[in-house]
Structure 1
């Protein structure tokens, strides 16, 4: 004598088996159609497409008149720029360490003059380092759509920050 729960379980199992067989048939048909489509695709002539390659010219850095001295930060603008109000700069500073075997860490900071607080506020920052006694650190920075007065600061671990002259970005 079968109980009602056994009948429901048997009916559910039969439905599940039917759904599995249907899904398997659908998948087989799809895979077969895809294989047929890929096999016939190579025999058909495809129209030729013209491909246009383009290259973007990178700006050339303006030459710095004198080499960078220790304790100084120089700033040069890249020729061109990527827009009307977008300016690109290269900041360079020469750092030295008394012990050449020691690793030197330094940080760059682009600060912007705030009229509201009458202080220099950090706009961008970057950090790096090198091994050895003396090295010229270089930082490429980008100011986009924010006119005002700026300056670049180079801070070496264990020494006072070196600041560039202020410069104005205008659109």
Structure 2
């Protein structure tokens, strides 16, 4: 009996060993293939990009450059509906006292044909604390065609006026 049971035991052990080796080979092949596919699908390292910028000076059209002692007026294209006109008035204000504040007043004057005088139509006050600054005002004329001009009064300096311009519908 020992021979028959020994033969069955030996052949069973041999089959188990073969199955174990086959399973081990399959597992190692699967793990190796998995590692290979993961390695090949890895993302490429990001390339370094160097950005550079060039600083360009901001240049304004000639009509927008403000000078001291002169008020320039331009019509804006974003006028409202109907007879609404928007304007921009600019000037360069030099403070009478460079170490102090400068106070100034804008006035939009309208010509009165009956009285033959310029009358204040709109006004605004402002100021700043610097030796000089370009100042700007955006008045709007609504439904009142006629001749206008802009006046800039700086405290402690001469009043400057723009050329007259006509607002029409």
TM-score category, normalised to shorter length: 0.5 to 0.7
1:109 and 1:126 in contact (8 A); partners too: yes
Unaligned runs of 5+ in 2: 1-59
Q: CA deviation at 1:117?
A: 0.6
Q: Specify which of 90, 105, 108 is matched with residue 106 of structure 2.
A: 108
Asked whether the 8 Å contact 1:68–1:94 carries over to 2, the reply is: yes
User: Could you say which residue in structure 1 is the equivalent of 2:67?
Assistant: 69
How many corresponding residue pairs? 110
Q: Which residue of 2 aligns with 1:99?
A: 97
CA contact (8 A) 2:112 2:119 kept: yes
Asked if residue 168 in structure 1 is aligned to residue 166 in structure 2, the reply is yes
Structure (1 or 2) with the larger CA radius of gyration: 2
1:45-64 CA-partner distances (Å, limit 9, x unpaired): xxxxxxxxxxxxxxxxx955
Normalised to the residue count of structure 1, the TM-score between the two structures is 0.61
| Contact 2:96–2:157 (8 Å) recurs in 1 | no
Mapped partners of 1:139, 1:109: distance in 2: 10
Is the Cα contact below 8 Å between 2:64 and 2:90 reproduced in 1? no
SS in 2 for 1:69: coil
Which residue of 2 is the match for residue 55 of structure 1? none
2:78 & 2:92 partners in 1: Cα distance? 26
CA contact (8 A) 2:96 2:156 kept: no
Match of 1:143 in 2: 141
SS of the counterpart of 1:65? helix
- Aligned 8 A contact 2:108 2:148 in 1: yes
**What is the deviation of 1:98?**
4.5
**Contact 1:64–1:76 under 8 Å retained in 2:** no
Where structure 1 has 5 or more consecutive residues not aligned to the other structure, the ranges are 1-61
Compute the displacement of 1:104 (Å): 0.3
After TM superposition, give the deviation of residue 99 of structure 1 in Å: 3.1
RMSD across aligned positions (CA): 1.6
